[in-house]
Amino acid sequence: MLEALRRPEVVPLISWIEAPPATRAAIARVHSPEYLDLLDAMAARGGGSLDADTFLGPRSLESVLASGGVALAAVAQGLQTGRAFGITRPPGHHALAARAMGFCFLNNVVLAARHAQALGCARVLIVDWDVHHGNGTQALVEHDPSIRFVSMHQYPWYPGTGAADERGVGNVFNVPRPGGLPRAVYVRDFLAGVDAALAQWSPDILLVSAGFDSLAGDPLGEFTLEPDDIVQWTEALRERMGTRPVVGVLEGGYRLDLLAAGVVAFVRALS
Q: Which residues are catalytic?
A: 94
In this structure, the number of other CB atoms found within 10 A of the CB of residue 104 comes to: 27
Contacts of 120 (CB under 8 A, 6+ apart): 204
| Nearest alpha-carbon partner for 45 in 58, 55, 27, 31 | 58
Dihedral sign for Cα atoms in the order 40, 45, 49, 54 = positive
Dihedral sign for Cα atoms in the order 125, 130, 136, 139 = positive
What is the residue-wise DSSP string for 24-56? HHHHTTTS-HHHHHHHHHHHHTT-EEEETTEEE
Residue type at position 22:
A
